[in-house]
Amino acid sequence: MSDSIVTTEQTSAGRDTSAKVILRMEHINKDYEMPGETLHVLKDVSLTVHEGEFLAILGPSGSGKSTLMNIIGCLDLPTSGDYWLDGKYIFDEDETTLAQIRSKEIGFIFQSFYLLQRQTAFQNVELPLIYADLPEKQRKARVEECLARVDLSDKMYNLPNQLSGGQQQRVAIARAVANHPAILLADEPTGALDQKTGAQVMQLFHELNEEGNTIIMITHDGKIAAHAKRIVKILDGVISEGALEDA
């Protein structure tokens, strides 16, 4: 919890040690009670992420990476351990508080986009802004700005089924950045895309990271993880800092 712990982790290349700590996990455990046994899905996970990082959490299915993502994204709470997100200590919050934290701090990007099919691109991007209680005028300006950022100004009023997969994922990214969250949390963001559009999405991630966004990407694909500046590997609920070659 002291600064020394933080600095000793600053070993990978290209990270700004003076940057603000945006996420800190200390000895996080997550257990699931099953009939007759307890599943230890996350085992003593400690992780620190600074503002402006582009981090990949790499692991095969069943490694606990989804559980880790859920805890980072405040969709779930750890069984034990300490978690600070953007300076807030998160422990045993109720559903309403967790929703408010997600609204402000987390921008989710999902493998299969999860756009509301009967709503236009504009309405989809507007949704988190409505939940954040932004006035209508500001919402409109923000949605337009975000859709312009992902080069979809001309598809603003298209429904998702009138967009290609890559375009849909860009709408989802615009939705994720709309509230200026502390962390963009992407779960296999290219998993449903072909290689070319996947590469375009990764290019967009690079640009967003250059612009100062903190990105945490969960993936099982080493090639995709290689786009990140820092890789954390997870296996059987244990994480380790690592270079790509070990993947």
Partner 1 sequence: MRKFGIVRQSIQMSLDNIKSNKLRSFLTMLGIVIGVAAVIGLITIVQSVTGSIMDQFNSLGAGTITVQTPGTALKRGVSDNDIEKLRNLTGVSGVAPTVTLSGSAVYDDTIYDTVSIDGEDLTYFLHTEDPVSEGRIFNSSETDGYTNVAIVDKNFVTNVLGGGQAVGTTFRLNGYTYKIIGVAGDTDSLTAQLTDTSGLDGTVTLPYRNVLRMSGSDDIMSMNVYVEEGYNTASVEDELRDTLDEIYNDEDNAYSIINLESLTQVMDTIQGMLTTMLGGIAGISLLVGGIGIMNMMLVSVSERTREIGLRKALGAEPARIQLQFLIESITLSLIGGLIGILVGLLIAAIGAAALDTPFKISYGAIALGAGFSAAVGIIFGWMPARRASQLNPIDALRSE
**Binding residues vs partner 1 (CB under 8 A):** 70, 73, 75-76, 95-96, 99-100, 102-104, 106, 108, 110, 114, 116, 118-119, 123, 127-128, 130-133, 136, 139, 175, 179
Which CB atom, from 12 or from 29, has the smaller least distance to partner 1? 29
Which CB atom, from 55 or from 69, has the smaller least distance to partner 1? 69
Give the shortest CB-71-to-partner 1 separation in angstroms. Answer: 10
Per-position DSSP letters for 50-90, written without gaps between them? ETT-EEEEE--TTSSHHHHHHHHTTSS--SEEEEEETTEE-
Give the shortest CB-128-to-partner 1 separation in angstroms. Answer: 4
Give the shortest CB-103-to-partner 1 separation in angstroms. Answer: 3
Which CB atom, from 84 or from 114, has the smaller least distance to partner 1? 114
Give the shortest CB-91-to-partner 1 separation in angstroms. Answer: 18
Looking at residue 238, its amino acid is V
Which CB atom, from 181 or from 198, has the smaller least distance to partner 1? 181
- Beta-bridge partner residues of 47: 25
Give the shortest CB-20-to-partner 1 separation in angstroms. Answer: 22
Which CB atom, from 9 or from 187, has the smaller least distance to partner 1? 187
Inter-helix orientation angle 136-149/121-131, to 10°? 130
Q: Please report, for residues 2, 62, 66, 210, 239, the alpha-carbon distance to residue 234 in angstroms, rounded to integers and kept in the order given.
A: 24, 10, 10, 26, 4
70 vs 106: CA distance, rounded Å: 11
C-alpha 179: how far from its chain's center? Answer: 13
